[in-house]
Amino acid sequence: MKTNLTEPALASNQSHTRNEATFIRKPGSFRRFAAERFDQLVALKERIATNLEKEFAGTIGVPLIRQIVTEAEALVATTPFPALLLPALAEEKAHNAAKRSVRQQTIRNQTFTLAA
């Protein structure tokens, strides 16, 4: 069956959108609460990335740290407490990446020594 949108249907559609916007702005609404929690999680992610960049400045680059934090965020998003687990998982992943980087540098240095 083909549905034809008439002007009253379009008008009710627009008022529905206005109602949703009003709902989001209401203090105490679930969507507002969720949006605030999302903003807090993004801010937490940024703080973690900045702290890890300072801690591992000479060992791993900024793009890799950003990737590490993004991967950690994706993993903890499946848990009931992502904000609780994100810092620990991101730090653990950064330590593993730093170890890998040091090990790769050691192998490169040994290879250059053997090649000379």
What is the chain's pLDDT, residue by residue, as a tens digit (116 residues)? 444 444 444 444 444 455 554 545 566 688 888 888 888 889 999 999 999 999 999 899 999 999 999 999 999 999 999 889 999 999 999 999 999 999 999 998 888 787 76
Amino acid code (one letter) for 115? A
Location of structure tokens 């290879």: 111
Report how far residue 97's alpha carbon sits from residue 113's, in angstroms, rounded to the nearest whole number: 24
Task: Say if pTM beats, i.e. exceeds, 0.85.
Answer: no
Location of structure tokens 């020594």: 113
Domain extent listing, the chain: 30-115
CA distances from 93 to 37, 46, 68, 99 (A): 24, 16, 6, 10
Report how far residue 27's alpha carbon sits from residue 33's, in angstroms, rounded to the nearest whole number: 8
DSSP output for 6-62: -HHHHHHHHHHHHHHHHHHHSTT-HHHHHHHHHHHHHHHHHHHHHHHHHHTTTTS-H
Check: CB of residue 74 under 8 Å from CB of residue 40.
Answer: no
Question: Running DSSP on this structure, what letter comes out for residue 79?
Answer: S
pLDDT of residue 27: 61
